[in-house]
Amino acid sequence: MSDEVEIGFMEARAVLQSECLKVLPAVRRQVDAHRQTFIWQMDKGLANSIFGIPIEKAHDARLTSEQVRRIARENGKNYCYTCMAITPKVLALSLSIERLSHGTLSPQEELNCFRSLIERLAVLEAALEAMSRTVRPEKIKTFDDLIEVREAVSTLIGTRFDWSKLQLIDFSKMPSKTDYFHDSAETRVDLSARNILNQIDKLQKKERYKGIRPFYNFCCEFVHPNIGDILATTSEKQIIKTQGGQLAYKTKYHEDPSKISKDDRDFFILFSKAYAFGTMLIREAEKVTLEYGNLLNTVRRVNRKCAHKVVKRQIACFSKDDYCPCGSGRSIRACAFRRERP
């Protein structure tokens, strides 16, 4: 009986690993073309001008000064900020998948990977959902659409800290939370753990994610100092009967906690289930990252189109040696005015 359970465990683990190996290249490929971004730097000198034109003269251009101002401020940022929100999340997801693919992690580390994967998956799904209510990726056409996307994915950039203060104070000198925490009302970048739990609960309501919250809680049992420590570090748990009829519960603790439990039926059953559920999550992760890959490509294309239209129409406002406001990192001459090759 125990053999059958052990075989089931080994199989479930092998399926998980092969699924991870299968989806990993596709997941990473989604952000391959979006690993390098350039933001038009609005330094003090530039802040007073729009692409080299003083703000007070902006009305000379055909666009309204408000339009030019918005474009100057926002255009280069739309694509870059969208990448900043999405690319690191996809790469972090891929890291969990890669680590699970090795098959060399301890069970506790594996569940830690799942936990990290679920949290990223939850925020990525939440941002997709937010976008589906405002701007659908296939309908992104205008500058305003790009701003909608940027708004929706901005929820992917969260922190509790004010990082500039963090650099100045040693941890031992941080007496209260509020001293180095962001004023979330002011900056809108607080993404608390509670927030993530809400998003996991929202996934739990979807048919394809049913079970994600209990699975997440299960993973947490092994990440937090809970009973998972016992399950992950013990083996040969069995009830032994003496000749005199006395019962003893035998437990053996691993010398090396990274090793997988041997002869542990409870462990095998639980982890077979965990691997099966995890395999399903890896497939969902692939689908989600594909959607984001498409979104990034669209945002880059539309952003470039919008920026080049402005540059070409208002060329008097620019120097051709300026960085192109599309955020390509090339000069306007080499980007917007690049000779089209047939």
Which is closer to Zn ion, CB of 199 or CB of 328?
328
Among 19, 108, 335, 342, binds Zn ion (CB under 5 A): 335
- Give the span between the Cα atoms of 195 and 168, in whole angstroms: 28
CB of 163 to Zn ion, least distance (A): 31
CB of 32 to Zn ion, least distance (A): 20
Residue 310 CB, nearest distance to Zn ion (Å)?
10
- Contact letters (x/-) for Zn ion, 265-304, by CB under 5 A? ----------------------------------------
CA–CA distance, 329 with 188 (Å, rounded to integer): 29
**Shortest distance in whole angstroms from residue 144 CB to Zn ion:** 20
Q: Does 80 bind Zn ion (CB under 5 A)?
A: no
Q: Do 127 and 150 meet the contact criterion of CB atoms below 8 Å apart?
A: no
Closer to Zn ion by Cβ: residue 38 or 181: 38
**CA–CA dist 77, 175 (Å, integer):** 36
Residues in the chain: 342
| Contact assessment for residue 125 and residue 199, using Cβ atoms and an 8 Å cutoff | yes
Closest CA to 6 of 272, 241, 283: 272
CB-count burial class (<10 Å; 0-12, 13-18, 19+) for 175 = exposed
Name the segment binding Zn ion (CB under 5 A); options: 88-96, 127-135, 156-164, 333-341. 333-341
Report in angstroms how near the CB of residue 305 gets to Zn ion at its nearest.
10
Residues 309-328 that bind Zn ion (CB under 5 A): 324, 326, 328
Candidate segments 18-26, 131-139, 286-294, 329-337, binder of Zn ion by CB under 5 A: 329-337
Nearer to Zn ion, 127 or 335 (CB): 335
The count of residues interacting with Zn ion (CB under 5 A) is 5
- Residue among 296, 29, 309, 285 at smallest CA distance from 137: 296
Report the alpha-carbon distance of residue 68 to residue 50 in Å, rounded.
7
Residue 195 or 297: the one with the smaller Cβ distance to Zn ion is: 297
Q: Which string of DSSP letters, residue by residue, matches 76-122?
A: HHHHHHHHHHHHHHHHHHHHHHHHHHHS-S-HHHHHHHHHHHHHHHH
Q: How far apart are CA 116 and CA 217, in angstroms?
A: 12
**Which residue's CB is nearer to Zn ion, number 212 or number 324?**
324
Helix ranges (DSSP H) in 141-264: 143-153, 163-168, 177-180, 184-187, 193-204, 212-223, 228-233
CB of 138 to Zn ion, least distance (A): 23
- Between 282 and 324, whose beta carbon lies closer to Zn ion? 324
Min dist CB 328 to Zn ion, Å, is 4
**Residues 238-267, mask of contacts with Zn ion (x by CB under 5 A):** ------------------------------
Q: What is the DSSP letter of 134?
A: H
* Nearer Cβ to Zn ion (285/324): 324
User: Is the Cβ of residue 214 or residue 329 nearer to Zn ion in the bound state?
Assistant: 329
Q: 155 Cβ partners below 8 Å, 6+ apart?
A: 123, 126, 127, 130, 191
Contact set with Zn ion (CB under 5 A): 324, 326, 328, 335-336
